[in-house]
Amino acid sequence: MARTMTAAMIEAGRIEEVQRENLAIAKGLKRNDPELLDQLIETYQHRLLRYLLFLTGKREVAEDLFQETWMRVLLRGAQYNGKARFDTWLFTIARNLVIDLSRKRQMASLDEMSEAGEDERPFEVAIDGPSPLEQFASREERAEVAEVLLKLEPNYREVLMLRFHEEMSLEEIASVTRAPLSTVKSRLYRGLAALKPEVEQLRQAHASGGASR
């Protein structure tokens, strides 16, 4: 009982701290604080570029969109009110830029690709324990898993990346992707189902490689 209360208090304190940080960011963006923008870029640059790489599959395109995302933050920072997590707002901007680029190039957007034959039935997704993305500890192994992810359909790849790399809740993912919660659950379930045999093959390859040494 005491442990439960302590855990709840720690979680409540963490949430309050995040809320304070979000409000501080919102105030700084409204002031066009250049130091704050530098801090945000330093804090989120790797995560944002990784997200764009997973969405586009091309480094050059991802880097261009990375720059454009921060320009939007600079120009539209006053629109951020601090009620949502900053990274949720940031990733939403990045995703919208990917969709805009897809339309300009007459490519299928993330939303259009997801609408093609996607089953909207809700799924109860088992996400307890390590995910397939978390079963590989070394940098080399994680890089190989990243390559496997790039083989998946973009809408599945995006949800997996946000859930397990960015540790967003399903509700936060729904906010970023502007998709119903049932759709997010469906994409996560199907993405994990598609990823599992690829990861198993990768694990077997590592096991056989280790045995041959």
All domains of the chain, ordered by start, with CATH? 1-107 (1.10.1740.10), 109-213 (1.10.10.10)
CA gyration radius for the chain? 19
Q: What is the DSSP string of 125-171?
A: ----S--GGGS--SHHHHHHHHHHHTTS-HHHHHHHIIIIIS---HH
**For residue 196, what pLDDT is reported?**
81
Q: Residue 149: phi, psi to the nearest 5?
A: -60, -40
pLDDT tops 50 at residue 114: no
Residues whose CB falls within 8 Å of the CB of residue 86, separated by 6 or more in sequence, listed in order: 21, 22, 25, 40, 44, 80
Mean pLDDT of 131-151: 61
Mean pLDDT of 180-185: 93
Q: Scan for tokens 């790399």, then name that residue.
A: 165
SS3 of 153, please? coil
pLDDT tops 50 at residue 21: yes
Lowest mean pLDDT among 120-134, 144-158, 163-177, 183-197: 120-134
| Cα–Cα distance measured from residue 51 to residue 37, given in angstroms and rounded to the nearest whole number | 19
Q: What is the pLDDT of residues 47-101, one digit of tens each?
A: 999 999 988 888 999 999 999 999 999 999 999 999 989 999 999 999 999 998 8
Pick the more confident residue, 13 or 134.
13
| Cα–Cα distance measured from residue 16 to residue 10, given in angstroms and rounded to the nearest whole number | 10
| Cα–Cα distance measured from residue 76 to residue 64, given in angstroms and rounded to the nearest whole number | 18
Whether the full predicted model's pTM is greater than 0.85, yes or no, is no
Mean pLDDT of 121-127: 39
Distances (CA, A) of 108 to 56, 111, 129, 155, 162: 12, 8, 34, 11, 21
Q: Scan for tokens 């949430």, then name that residue.
A: 15
SS3 of 72, please? helix
Q: What is the pLDDT of residues 148-168, one digit of tens each?
A: 788 888 888 899 989 888 889
pLDDT tops 90 at residue 140: no
pLDDT tops 50 at residue 40: yes
